[in-house]
Structure 1
Amino acid sequence: MFTCQPVLVDWSVSVSLEDLSEHPFTDGKQWEPKPCVLPKRYMDFAEQIRNFEVFEDDVWIVTFPKCGTTWTQEMVWLIDQNLDYQTAKTINLNDRSVFLELFSTFDPMDDTITSARNLPRPRHIKSHLPVALLPKQLWTVKPKIVYVSRNPKDVAASYLHHYRGIAGYRGTKEEFFERLLADEIEYCPQIAHVLEFWRIKNHPNVLFLTYEQMKRDLRKVLPTVCDFFGKKFSNEQLDLLAKHLSFDEMKKNPATNNVELVQTRMKQEGREGESFEFMRKGQIGDYKNELSSSFIDRFDEFIERELRGSDFKFDC
């Protein structure tokens, strides 16, 4: 069952599970997840997603939006599929690694829940949902889960451009940042999303990565991901993989740069003439070009407050 409470964003609802007393990751402690901001349409599919059948050989990529999700999907798919570049370059990433709840957040879209269900095994599935709203079988079947976090200030800059291009947002960036600081943007609360997965990072089926460590030295991260999937590749193979996963290569690859998704959204909203690139800069510290010094200070205070009591620190 779900509890719905209205929030200030008039197109969304606040959703949380009522009873998580049997959740295996509570570790015998009281745990009450925070409500998650999602479009009203999501409620029509919430139970279907919660009851989604999970298989042990599934691979789940979970992030808060704009934390390097597409990048991670491509990396993980290639490693798990023994570096099958031919398929990676000819079959769209969204068809190989399906965004589970997309159908529940955008209308009209292809039925991504059914598409994820019908993927050939081992299935690769992406989600931005927090722990409490993900399929409940994830915590009993225990497939591999790769989670990626990113500094909230860079998330803010990237999410703003995403909202303008994908969601057609036409407000000011100041208003958007205000809403993000108030945890009133889709998939918020942002830092709670990260901390829930940080709490379970030591479970053997969970790999916790950060966008910054991947960006600074992806080649160094690749062996860790390979070990997680029980894969072994030569140094030359890993060098080639790192090159394939570079921002420039990903951006010019039609199978990974989400051109189809962008074109679909533009057409749905009558904005075909607009210019928008899903993969924009992929940088660390780009928030300095988007956030005023006042907002930087406020985000720093927000981060410090939300992390209070946790040993997690965002990589700046």
Structure 2
Amino acid sequence: MFHTEKVSENYINKDNCPGYYNYVELSDGVNRCVLTDKYVDHYAEEIKNFEVFDDDIWVITFPKCGTTWTQEIVWLLNNNLDYEGAYNTLLDVRFPFIEIGAIVKDPRDSINHCKNLQRPRHIKTHLPKFLLPNQIWTVKPKIIYVARNPKDAAVSYFHHYRHIIGYTGTKDEFFDAYLAGKLLHSPINENVLEFWKLRDEPNILFLYYEDMKRNLKEEILKMMNFLGKSYTDEQIDKLCDHTSFKSMKINPSVNREQRIKTVKTVHNYVSKDENFTFMREGKIGSHHKEMTEEQKAKFDKYMAWSEFANVGFEYKTK
């Protein structure tokens, strides 16, 4: 089904990444994506053959592009603003990550979790278009895709790798691997572009993280209309407050506190920053204080990828 090739340990290796699985690049001859040997052996075919229903809701992003934020908004919009249900049930249970069982060292069967959800099902993924279930393109469930400036996404992913996967290498090494497309779910450009090309499909809503930060209410209204829901201004204002970064950061049903505790106590590495939280800053432009001018220049060149220019796509950077 796919050509597979082991990713060189010159990028991310077991010595500086103890949460490491064996990384494998999957390709269909045109597109590529880095996942794990476990994904290839146990998940790829099952996900391709996954049964899709027309009332499914899929949130798709590249990692660290506002996924959790969007999930919480979408779940509440599609569940009559059931805040009690949202508070009392972890987001990972309500809105599971279909390939997570192949990403982290965890025995969970995330595919069956998604299969057995009560309909309408809410499913998260970071998979690129070519690895998604075949039925997505025939059944056409609603898909919300969120894109983010790769500089900010890369900075956030760097901290994620350090504290969740145990990465101990340098920023330079990490950013080089990011731009080379050698990290989990990479490369970002191909992931984003494939969904940008589909943005006018009636079952796809393409959003930007930066727009959500600048005017959350406007973007929530887009999601509300896309999902065929109707709420009052007062109800939307309450949802904006519930899903503000300040509120999300202290909400245990979405802030992944338990996952951080597991990383610190179960795995064979300890976060360098005892104050690290999954929701770290949530800002536009965080790369300005975390990247050198040389690193920024490398990303600028990457973001200007010629195929993007050919279709008129631009990341939002301001």
Alignment TM-score, normalising by the size of structure 2: 0.92
Give the aligned partner of residue 310 of structure 1: 311
Distance 1:39 1:273 in 2: 23
Give the aligned partner of residue 7 of structure 1: 7
Give the aligned partner of residue 278 of structure 2: 278
Distance 2:166 2:207 in 1: 30
Give the aligned partner of residue 43 of structure 1: 40
Check conservation: 2:60, 2:124, Cα contact below 8 A: yes
Check conservation: 2:179, 2:187, Cα contact below 8 A: no
Give the aligned partner of residue 254 of structure 1: 252
Residue type at the aligned position of 2:33: C
* Range 36-45 or range 163-172, more displaced: 36-45
Check conservation: 2:47, 2:133, Cα contact below 8 A: yes
Is 2:184 the counterpart of 1:183?
no
Give the aligned partner of residue 301 of structure 2: 301
Distance 1:282 1:17 in 2: 34
Give the aligned partner of residue 264 of structure 2: 266
Residue type at the aligned position of 1:90: N
Distance 1:76 1:157 in 2: 25
The CA deviation at 1:145 is: 0.4
Distance 1:253 1:86 in 2: 12
Give the aligned partner of residue 140 of structure 1: 138
Give the aligned partner of residue 111 of structure 2: 113
Gaps of 5+ in 1: 19-31
Question: How large is the Cα RMSD of the aligned pairs?
Answer: 1.3
* Range 1-10 or range 210-219, more displaced: 1-10
Q: What are the Cα deviations for residues 99-156 of structure 1, in whole angstroms up to 9, with x where unaligned?
A: 0000012222421111111111001000000000011111111101000000000011
Residue type at the aligned position of 2:211: Q
Alignment TM-score, normalising by the size of structure 1: 0.92
Distance 1:77 1:265 in 2: 27
The CA deviation at 1:272 is: 5.6
SS in 2 for 1:56: coil
Distance 1:74 1:86 in 2: 13
Check conservation: 1:100, 1:113, Cα contact below 8 A: yes
Residue type at the aligned position of 2:312: D
Give the aligned partner of residue 19 of structure 2: none
Check conservation: 2:166, 2:271, Cα contact below 8 A: no
1:273–1:131: structure 2 CA closer, same or farther, 3 Å change rule?
closer
Moved over 4 A (4+): none
Mapping for residues 236-255 of structure 1, pairs under 5 Å: 236-255=234-253
Distance 1:90 1:272 in 2: 29
Distance 2:126 2:164 in 1: 16
Distance 1:273 1:223 in 2: 38
SS in 2 for 1:61: strand
The CA deviation at 1:270 is: 3.1
1:109–1:251: structure 2 CA closer, same or farther, 3 Å change rule?
farther
Check conservation: 1:7, 1:14, Cα contact below 8 A: yes
Check conservation: 2:166, 2:270, Cα contact below 8 A: no
Residue type at the aligned position of 1:295: Q
Check conservation: 1:61, 1:127, Cα contact below 8 A: yes
Give the aligned partner of residue 27 of structure 1: none
SS in 2 for 1:220: helix
SS in 2 for 1:166: helix
Distance 2:162 2:123 in 1: 25
The CA deviation at 1:305 is: 2.2
Task: Give the percent of matched residue pairs that are identical in Structure 1 and Structure 2.
Answer: 46
Mapping for residues 97-108 of structure 1, pairs under 5 Å: 97-108=95-106
Distance 1:273 1:301 in 2: 32
Check conservation: 2:162, 2:271, Cα contact below 8 A: no
Check conservation: 1:263, 1:272, Cα contact below 8 A: no
Pairs aligned (count)? 302
